[in-house]
Amino acid sequence: MIENSMSFQGVGSINNLSLKFNKNENCTIMELREFIANFAEQFDDTDASEITADCVFHDLEEWSSLIGMSIIALAKTEYGKSITGAELKACVTVEDVFSLIKNK
């Protein structure tokens, strides 16, 4: 196992994040950004800039059970992972959903 230490300067809640990762591991900061973008695409009226890693998505005005079902479908179609409504409901932030899917 080879570990690298890298610093990334980004936007939103991931500024100045220092990340260690295994080259074989599929979880990188770029994947989190991609997940956030995919998550944001499920919303029609919410500006994508409102959706960040630390966004409490249940508090978004547009959040609904239909969008929740879209997120469950996103997990299956884009990431090949099955999550339940109860697991999604237990998540607080977008990053929590990312971690749930990543760790399945």
| pLDDT for 55 | 98
* pLDDT band (50, 70, 90) for residue 36: very high
What DSSP state is assigned to residue 56? B
Q: Which of 17, 87, 10, 2 is nearest to 99 (CA)?
A: 87
Domains belonging to the chain, first-starting first, are: 32-103 (1.10.1200.10)
Amino acid letter, residue 44: D
Q: For residue 26, is pLDDT > 70?
A: no
